[in-house]
Structure 1
Amino acid sequence: MPLPYTLLITPLAADAPDDGSWFAETFTEVDSSEPALRVSELSTQRGDGVFETLAVVDGHAQEVQPHLARLARSAQICELPLPNLAQWSAAISAAVAQIPQQGELAIKLVLSRGVENGPSPTAWLHASAATDFSAVRESGVRVITLDRGYDRGVAERAPWLLLGAKTLSYAVNMAALREAHRRGADDTIFVTSDGYVMEGPTSSVILRHNGVFSTPAPSGAILHGTTQTSLFEYLERHGHSVSYRDISVEELRGADAVWLVSSVRLAVAVTELDGRQLPVDAPLTRLFTEYLLSPRD
């Protein structure tokens, strides 16, 4: 079946019995060129929902269970009905069986609060060809830091900000990318008002300093990265030291190397930070790309 491909999902309760025989009855293929959502759908009206984006490489859906686990965490934070992970896993398998088996694709999973005053959430899966990131994986990106507007402790003081959830409310992230482009850069790393590294609008941050690979410690304010976690497992298997900790902006600027990592773009080296050149480990970046393109569960 050609792309794009859309599958509407009738959400099951998280604790629904799993006999595997009736999952298909909860999926409906729709023409991606035709309307599929109501005007009163809260995902479009208010961004009131959560999502995940996972890669499909040559017919293999990458890290399905880590993405689904994060979808469930985001739903819990946002007080949405918890997704039935077996159902969502079956939906991904059904989609992968219908879409092209060669090249890089992206599957977006969306769980919304549903129609305003409606009885149940709305859910769907949308598959499309992935953007060709081969050039930027090779050449890297120029990055600026932007103040996210709060300090490290805000998530604990104000959990209603939903900072640890991957929500559909992405207007701030997209505005940050536009600001980066206005300043002649390609991407952004958010920092706290008290000077600590957070994450990119669509990526996790990894730096290497004195031989140790570090990423900001997961917290209520930082989304735990599935690709970053996988890459740390790869590094540890190859004898490298990894660390989750607080990282100051000054340490970031003095790092031996910095990468932004995400599910579809994979790992890209930061070549310039706030107008200053950074060291780039091109051979290691290529190894990262090779690993991240390999089948990963």
Structure 2
Amino acid sequence: DGCFEALRAYRGSTFALGPHLDRLVASAALLHMDLPSREEMEGWIRAVARDGGDCTVRIVATRGGFDPDVNAAPRVVVLWEPIPELPEYLCVLPLEAPWHSDGAPSELTGAKTLSYAPNMAANRAARLAGFDDALLHGRSGRILEGPTFCVAWVVDGVLETPSLDLGILASITRGATLHEAARAGIGVREGHFGLDRLDDADEVMALSTVKEVKPVVRVGERRFAPGSVTELLARRYRNRVETALANG
């Protein structure tokens, strides 16, 4: 077992390294797994980012053995990957995620573990159906998240998104986007929403480290036009990135 993080590097410099390491440490704690020192991991990540330039940096940590009582040293790998070519707009297919906690209590809620096989199977199923990715919903019918992204939408000028108590990942991009929305005077509403809530939506967007803030123009048979709120939040998010990079 293990946990991982993926973060963006822009021109060889990492963005939001501190929050990503915070989440990695929290994930490892939920798994009762030791990690190398934060300083060591930070040094490895920065070195890999410098080598990769504009890239995704991935840090993968495993326990180091099958027997947790042995207390073997963790195995940690840091690598960079090129940023995939992304479409200008996304089309996503709603798919049920029976493996998701969907709000049920779990000792691993919030951990970014290595068990992403069901998520990636959903991504492949959506692609085979002609979509760019999947939008996962629970057995309850409530909207959760994408396989590797969070989702938000706009209803009557208010930005809505599933709440973290559903067991979705506490996405760093999601948090930054909600913060930028509030700073821009846009109302924010977190909660539990069924897919039919999208019937009232004017805009839909995907939020992730790689995608940043990306317009979604199709959710199943529902269609949307890229809107001004998505454009504003995408611009503010990128400005946030550039400011952070300029400040070191």
Q: TM-score, normalised by structure 1?
A: 0.73
Any idea what the Cα deviations from partners look like across 1:231-266, whole Å, max 9, x if unmatched? 122222222222222222111343111111110121
What is the match of residue 62 of structure 2?
Answer: 112
CA distance in 2, matches of 1:88, 1:219: 29
Alignment of 1:127 with 2:80, yes or no, is: yes
CA distance in 2, matches of 1:254, 1:287: 20
Pair 1:83–1:259, CA change in 2 (3 A): farther
CA distance in 1, matches of 2:147, 2:73: 30
Gaps of 5+ in 1: 1-47
Pair 1:206–1:244, CA change in 2 (3 A): same
Shift of 1:286: 6.8
CA contact (8 A) 2:213 2:233 kept: no
Task: Give the number of the structure whose alpha-carbon radius of gyration is greater.
Answer: 1
CA contact (8 A) 2:215 2:230 kept: no
1:65 corresponds, among 18, 21, 25, to 18
Alignment of 1:288 with 2:234, yes or no, is: yes
What is the match of residue 262 of structure 1?
Answer: 208
Any idea what the Cα deviations from partners look like across 1:75-121, whole Å, max 9, x if unmatched? 12222125533332232233334x154xx211001111113446221
1:13-52 to 2 correspondences below 5 Å: 48-52=1-5
1:140-289 to 2 correspondences below 5 Å: 140-149=89-98, 152-154=102-104, 156=105, 159=106, 162-219=108-165, 221-281=167-227, 284-285=230-231, 288=234
Shift of 1:196: 0.9
RMSD of the TM alignment (CA)?
A: 2.3
Any idea what SS the aligned residue of 1:268 has?
strand
Shift of 1:287: 5.5
Show structure 1 runs of 4+ deviating over 4 A. Answer: none
CA distance in 2, matches of 1:168, 1:247: 27
CA contact (8 A) 1:164 1:219 kept: no
Any idea what SS the aligned residue of 1:89 has?
helix
CA distance in 2, matches of 1:94, 1:193: 43
What is the match of residue 94 of structure 1?
Answer: 47
